[in-house]
Each structure stands twice: as C-alpha cells, then as structure tokens.
Amino acid sequence: MIEFNNVSKHFDEVIALENINLTIKKNDFFGVIGMSGAGKSTLIRLINGLILPDEGRVDVNGLSLSLLKERELNKLRQTIGMIFQHFNLINQKDVLDNVTLPLKLQGVSKAERKEKGLEMLRLVQLEDKADAYPAQLSGGQKQRVAIARALINDVDILLCDEATSSLDPISTQSILDLLKDLHKKLNLTIVMITHEMKVIQQVCHKMAVLDNGKLVETGRVKDIFTHPTHPKTKELLFVQDTTDFSNKDKPQLRLIFDGYNAFEPIISELVLQTEQAVNILWANTQEVEELVYGQMLIQVPSLSQELLDFLDGRNITYQVEGKL
C-alpha cells in the first residue's frame, strides 16, 4: 500500500532522510519510532505528498507520488487522513463544523455534511459534543474530534504524528484503544509515528526504527522486542541498565523474558520451589500482545542446582552475575 524506494530528502544542508526502503502493507498497523530529529515527520509527510523526495520514489496504492499531477495528488490525498500531536482544530468552529470541514471544502451540501459528521462522531463516541467548541473539550476529546475529521472521507490510510504525545496516560490509553478498534472496524492501514516504545508496543504489529535519517531496523514488533539488533533499538527499548548494584556479595541472576513467560507467577513459584528469598534488584519488562519481554535482575542467597533446574525447566534464559 505504501512503498519507499531508495528515498532521500534533505532540507538545505540537513539530510532528513537517507536512502529509505520501506514497505507498508494494506491493513498494517505500522509504528515508526525514533528520537527527536530522526526524520519521522518528514517520512510521514512524504506519504501524503506534502513534500516530495529529492531522490527515490514513494508509491501509495500503486501510484508514484512524484509523477502525479496536482489534481491527481489531491484526489489521492483524500484517501489519506492525518492526525497530529496538537490536534489542529479550529477554535472558532464547533465540533461538528471541525469534523466536516474537509467535506465543506469539497462542496458537499450542509445536510449531507451534518449526517456524515454525526456518523463520524458516533464512531469516536463523541456524538453528544457536536455543538461544543474545542476549548470546552479535554485533550483526549480533541484528539477524537481530529480522528473523526481525518476519517470523514472514508480514508484507507491514517497517518498519526505523535498523536498521543501531549495526552495524559489515561487519555493516551483511550485514544490507542480507539485507534485499535477503528483499525479493525474500518480495515484501515495505520502509520503511527512516535518516540515512545510503549505506544508501539500497545497497538502496532510491525515497526521500523529511524536513527538520524536512516532506517536501522524493520520487522514484527514481537521479533524486534525479543531480538533487537541495532544499538539504537536497544536504547529505545530498554532504559539503559546503568545502576551499579555494588552489593555483589550474593549471586545475581539476570533473567531474560522472551515472550512466553508470565512474570509474576514465575517469581513466586521460584520462591516456593527453592525455598529461598528472592530479591528483585531491577526489572524492565514490558507486555506485548499479552506476552512478557524484558529483563530482570534478581539476587538469591545461594545458587543451587535446584534453582538453575527450575529456570531451565521454564525455558527462561539467564545469565549469572555477581559473586557465585
């Protein structure tokens, strides 16, 4: 559905994107992560033709954007919706007028606009706010309005640029849940740009990592969480484990959860089985698609064979650290 072929883009001296190759398939929920300035917004703006590549090709739905005439490009753009970090609503217009603005620009009649607008507001569970003004809404509600507006043309593709970055954790969760729901219900292809791993982890199935204008890793979210290969991915995935656990007078074990182990039962079973006190020194585990990934550093009074057998029996990868 979306294809980048050797795409480069620079702004004067700044190379925003360099030689990007990327395929996003129909109905993918695709996340792109990277630090500030990595080129994420540039990448997303290339998808709807807001900017064109200096080199290479961006194809959407089989059409090469650089080759399209303005009119054809506008037509293609109507099949692509976009939402932003700061919602970009018009404060002087009420919710219904904000949502239906794209239709107004297309010359759709008022009655038709209203009907379609209310239908979209129902979809984002905000029907009762049709007459409210943006200033009367919470951040999460404003983003719902923006989503309704982005989808009003029955789009195939939804582009999200840091769509939850200015929301509190609860609103973030509800927007992510809504996007997940709409992705399924409307058969959307979603491209989600973010600098937060937890956003990708909660909703995306595939992902790419951008570092300094280069695509350094692409694949299934599950695989990348289990086996991140690029240092940048590791950095984004796990907070650097820099704490010095200098009390190394007892054995320490680093447990690596690879996606098949529920985390809490393992620790309590470990305590029951070995009758040893287990001290959790540090943990960085995350759930993806209901499986646990990450690492945990534990300290035990002594390293018994029973303990190691227990871990082997559960297929938990571990590494012994500290004093044996």
Ligand X SMILES: Nc1ncnc2c1ncn2[C@@H]1O[C@H](COP(=O)(O)OP(=O)(O)OP(=O)(O)O)[C@@H](O)[C@H]1O
The site for ligand X (CB under 6 A) is made up of: 11, 14, 16, 34, 36-42, 195
Least CB distance from residue 93 to ligand X, whole Å?
27
Q: Is 194 in the site for Mg ion (CB under 5 A)?
A: no
Q: Is 48 in the site for Mg ion (CB under 5 A)?
A: no
Extract the tokens encoding 105: 């620009």
Least CB distance from residue 85 to ligand X, whole Å?
8
Least CB distance from residue 240 to ligand X, whole Å?
20
Instruction: Give the nearest residue (CB) to Mg ion.
Output: 41
Q: Is 41 in the site for Mg ion (CB under 5 A)?
A: yes
- DSSP string of 201-254? HHH-SEEEEEETTEEEEEEEHHHHHHS--SHHHHHHHS----------SSEEEE
CA-based nearest residue to 191, from 237, 157, 152, 223: 157
Residue 151 is given by DSSP the state: H
What phi, psi does 90 have (nearest 5°)?
Answer: -95, 115
Question: What one-letter code names the amino acid at 161?
Answer: D
Binding partner selected for residue 100 from Mg ion, ligand X, none, CB under the kind-specific 5 to 8 Å limit: none
Could you tell me how far CA 122 lies from the centroid of its own chain?
25
Least CB distance from residue 165 to Mg ion, whole Å?
9
CA-based nearest residue to 150, from 32, 53, 250, 48: 48
Give the residue with the Cβ less far from ligand X, 198 or 254. Answer: 198
Give the residue with the Cβ less far from ligand X, 152 or 158. Answer: 158
Binding partner selected for residue 233 from Mg ion, ligand X, none, CB under the kind-specific 5 to 8 Å limit: none
Least CB distance from residue 40 to Mg ion, whole Å?
5
